[in-house]
Amino acid sequence: MAHIIRFTNRCTEQKEQNRITCGCCGREIPAYPSRNARDYLEITKKWGYFSKKDGETHHFYLCEDCYDKWLENFAGPVEISEDTELL
């Protein structure tokens, strides 16, 4: 549990310092306003009673490359929708 709390705090610190690292490959993900800014996946999951992690909140970032590799292992495609207005 202590490991999980420390990890969650690290994610928050990374965001505050604008130095986000991928939880899978460990590489830093350049964040806005960097000219090389890349988007990333951020997941926060609070596990509930019907899990083995009841009461734990897991939080991590994934770079787009690791996200794509992760999806290659899925049994089926993810649902994709597109915004009609891009800013």
Q: Which residues bind Zn ion (CB under 5 A)?
A: 22, 24-25, 63, 66
- CB 67, min distance to Zn ion, A: 8
Q: What is the CA radius of gyration of the chain?
A: 15
- CB 29, min distance to Zn ion, A: 8
Nearer to Zn ion, 8 or 38 (CB): 38
Helix H, strand E, coil C: the string for 19-54 is: CEECCCCCCEECCCCCCCCCCEEEEEEECCCCCCCC
Nearer to Zn ion, 38 or 47 (CB): 38
